[in-house]
Chain A
Amino acid sequence: MSKPVKVAFVMEGSTDFVVLRAAVRALLNGRDFEPTSVWPELDENLRPKAEGGWGAVYKWCRQLLEQADGPARDNPVFAMNDMVVIQVDADVARARYSDYKSIKNPPDDELFRHTCEKPCPPPSDTTNALRTVMLGWMGETAVPPKAVLCTPSKSIETWVVVALFPDDKDAKSPKIECWWGTEPRLRKYGLIKSGQKLIDKYRANEQGIQDAWPDVRAKCTEAERFSTDFLALVPAG
């Protein structure tokens, strides 16, 4: 029995965790892993309702930097895990720090000056810009050796649509990663209701996402990039 891979997940929300766990299961192909969900210190009373899940990832990155008091890559969280997956949906590229009052003293980057959204296709123009911004949150210019950045375009729900509803006409489109309609589509399919992503529905479909992961990789460039980066860090069993 090979040693379980220790994977920490920093993600926008709990349904993202379900999708990422399904993807990792598929990637590890039967090898066991020890998932840990990581969150910033956050008092929910102080968290404005309007703030999206990416704000939590932002805060975690800033706390990482503060803790390390030097390059974030020196933070012990990397030494304590085989890898740390950091997920932010690429729709965040449309956001600005000034939209969120709780973000104080943000870095002077593209999200500070304007947004970092680029024309799509190709999706990578936007996701690359967002990844640079994310690294800046950690005070890094390159991806730390044990980090895996995960930036689904436009959101992780794109992967869910492709995995679970392959016959959907939009899921078949080569431009699926540039399509903004995935969340309304998941409302239609019952995974999202009244703006809430339904965790029980996501969990019920976890196996389906895992089984369809090769198709998701084939259709979504960011899923492929995530898979390649992840597999490169899996330690030998």
Chain B
Amino acid sequence: MINKLTVESFKTLEKVEVELGTVNVFVGANGSGKSNLLEALGVLASAADGKVDDQVLLNRGVRPGVPELYKSAFQEKLPQHIYFAAHNEKSSYEVSLLNPLEVTRPWRFKTELLMRGHDKVTSRSPRLKGNPNTERGLAALEALKLKKGDGARRLLEQLQEFVIFSPTTPVLRGTSPETKPRQPVGLHGGRLPEAVHELLRSRKDNPQAKKACSEALALIDWARQYGSAAAVDMPLSAAAGASPRVIRFVDRYMREGRNVLSGYDASEGALYVLFLAVLAAHQDSPHLFAVDNADHGLNPRLAKTLFKQFCGWILESPEPRQVLVTTHNPQVLDGLPLRDDRVRLFTVARTDAGRTSIRRVEITDKLLEMAEKGWTLSRLWIMGHIGGMPHV
């Protein structure tokens, strides 16, 4: 698990250090830098995989940026490079990168350092003899030589899996194509019917999948059953997309024969529930991922309960998973099991000079006492007490 992430000179993140838990929720005003943090991890992940260019960034869900805007520009003098570091229990990977001003060029590696405890596994600096290709990472190559299970290799492998999901309703419904397809679901929610099918099929061998499937159904209170089906076997509007498979819901209120509807016709909230269930419990889901704006289209009470369940699915996963989530829905805060140190809430704000500041909200006895009396975290957040609010 990545327990510390450091970013310097990337967009609004001039110098940020975040101590991560297993589930990490980031709240803050629009434009405060939440997505920048996720994207910083996306760049680091690409570096850990050996190459950083626009295409690999896009494939991880990082928005293609104007090259001039990648580096922080707070000082009169621009920083020389952008720096990232990730630590797990015993290993660390640090890299400083030079981003090109021509979009077509890959980023160049300036320095790299992969450590296992106090031992250096590999490193590079501009003075390194032999002038290795600066457009390729050394650590990614060296990691292949390490034993499976080696802490340093595990760190890189976890980073390499990182992607940012940004689900959108049209893609979840199947009415818009997925531009970032991958297993088990695309970055915008494409392939959800297939992934739901696979998740449901895995129930007999995977108690966690069984639990997630059943709890997801409980969250879709109007549905008696869900699954997926071949599109040709479903009553579908002509406006629905041409996906070969579609999500299939059985409505609990409508009478037999008129109670089957597809993801195209269902409430979008149900699709987001299934999307998060797949990410948490599908065997092919990445071990490290982010969900940006995970609360689209969710009723506040559903958002609260879904996030409570989502935390449970992630924490109880037999596969170790780590998640970063951004949300604007205050109710989500009240669903987080924050007494568990593995679940962490962070506020993200801009300083007066425009720098992104990220602070963990520590759950004190006093806060719990106040919540008991009805002064919940969501209320305190809206009042501005915990930060992460716009000046409006």
Contact = CB atoms under 8 A, between A and B. Distances in A.
B369 A32 contact: no
A67 interface: yes
A82 to B, nearest CB: 12
Contacts of A80: 361, 385-387
Contacts of B353: 32
B129 interface: no
Contacts, number: 75
B382 A74 contact: no
A15 to B, nearest CB: 12
Contact of B379 (A6, A36, A41): A41
Given A4-B351, A36-B349, A36-B389, A74 B15 contact: no
Contacts of B242: none
A41 B384 CA distance: 10
Interface residues of B, number: 29
A76 B15 CA distance: 26
Contacts of B359: 6
A86 to B, nearest CB: 13
Interface in A1-45: 1, 4, 6, 8, 14, 17, 21, 24-25, 32-41
Determine which residue in B364, B380, B384, B385 has the highest number of CB atoms from chain A within 10 A of its CB, and name it: B385
A77 interface: yes
Given A36-B384, A67-B370, A76-B367, A17 B391 contact: yes
B352 A76 contact: no
A145 B353 CA distance: 27
Given A32-B353, A35-B352, A77 B385 contact: yes
A39 B384 contact: yes
Contacts of B364: 76, 79
Nearest to B352: A33
A21 B387 contact: no
A234 to B, nearest CB: 14
A106 B352 CA distance: 36
Nearest to B350: A34
B375 A67 contact: yes
A69 interface: yes
B373 interface: yes
A38 B357 CA distance: 18
B204 interface: no
Contact of A41 (B14, B373, B383, B389): B383
Contacts of A75: 366
Contacts of A60: 383
Given A4-B351, A67-B370, A76-B367, A40 B383 contact: yes
Contacts of B357: 4, 34
Determine which residue in B349, B364, B366, B367 has the highest number of CB atoms from chain A within 10 A of its CB, and name it: B366
Contacts of B384: 8, 36-39
A53 to B, nearest CB: 15
Interface in B333-392: 349-353, 355, 357, 359, 361, 364, 366-367, 369-370, 373, 375, 379-380, 382-387, 389, 391-392
A69 B15 contact: no
B352 A34 contact: yes
B370 A76 contact: yes
B387 A1 contact: no
Nearest to A67: B375
Interface in A206-220: none
Determine which residue in A4, A40, A67 has the highest number of CB atoms from chain B within 10 A of its CB, and name it: A67
B375 A33 contact: no
B102 to A, nearest CB: 31
Contact of A21 (B14, B352, B367, B369): B352
A25 B352 contact: yes
Nearest to A81: B387
Interface in A46-105: 60, 63, 66-69, 74-77, 79-80
A40 to B, nearest CB: 7
Contact of A34 (B349, B375, B380): B349
A37 B355 CA distance: 17
A24 B351 CA distance: 13
Given A4-B355, A76-B364, 18 more contacts: A4-B351, A6-B387, A14-B392, A34-B349, A34-B351, A36-B387, A36-B389, A38-B385, A40-B383, A60-B383, A63-B383, A66-B375, A69-B373, A74-B366, A76-B370, A77-B380, A79-B366, A80-B387
12 contacts: A17-B391, A25-B352, A34-B350, A40-B383, A41-B383, A66-B375, A68-B370, A76-B364, A76-B366, A80-B361, A80-B385, A80-B387
Interface of B: 14-15, 349-353, 355, 357, 359, 361, 364, 366-367, 369-370, 373, 375, 379-380, 382-387, 389, 391-392
